[in-house]
Amino acid sequence: MAGLESKSFDAPDEVRPFTDKGEAQVVTLAGGSVLKARFEPGWRWSEHLRPIAGTDSCQSPHFLYVLSGRMHVVMNDGTEAEAAPNDVVRIEPGHDAWVIGDEACVVVDFGASPAYATSHTA
C-alpha cells in the first residue's frame, strides 16, 4: 500500500491511561502519532499527568481539534485560553490544563510529542 495508510481509533496502536481521569488512544501513520484523548471531568494535567511525565508543566506541543467538552489552558507565562467544541488550538510546551464543567473533553491531537502521557515525555 505505497503512499496510503489508514487506521482507526476503534483499534488504536496503543492506549495510554491518564491515572484515573481518561486516556489517549494512539495511532501511528508514516512514523507520526495522532492521539484521540478523553479527559474526564475533574482531570487536570498537574494532578493526573505530572506524575507520569515527571515535569513541572506539560512539555509537549499540541495541535488540537476539540470534539466535545471544554478545557482551560494556562501557559507558564500566565497566558490563558479556553478550548471548546469545534475549536482548533495550538499549544506550545510549558502549560497546565484542566477540564471545565461536568462533560468529558475529547480532542484529536495532531501535534503531541510521540511520548505524550508516558514516563518519557520531554
H helices within 9-120, ranges in order? Answer: 45-48, 50-53
Question: Which residue, among 90, 95, 97, has the nearest Cα to 112 in the 3D structure?
Answer: 90
Give this prediction's pTM. Answer: 0.89
Residue 82: CATH number of its domain: 2.60.120.10
pLDDT at 1 over 70: no
pLDDT (0 to 100) of residue 92? 96
Q: Is residue 121 very low, low, confident or very high in pLDDT (cuts 50, 70, 90)?
A: very low
Phi and psi at 98, nearest 5°, equal -155, 155
Is 102 contained in some domain? Answer: yes
Per-residue confidence band for 2, with pLDDT thresholds at 50, 70 and 90: low
Q: How confident is the model at residue 31 (pLDDT cuts 50, 70, 90)?
A: confident
Name the residue among 84, 105, 108 with its Cα closest to residue 40.
105
Q: How far apart are CA 22 and CA 38, in angstroms?
A: 5
CB neighbour list of residue 120: distance below 8 Å, 6 or more residues apart: none
Q: Is residue 88 part of a domain?
A: yes
* CB neighbour class for 81 (10 Å; exposed up to 12, middle 13-18, buried from 19): middle
Whether 8 is in a domain gets the answer no
What is the number of domains present in the chain? 1
Q: Report if residue 19 sits inside a domain.
A: yes
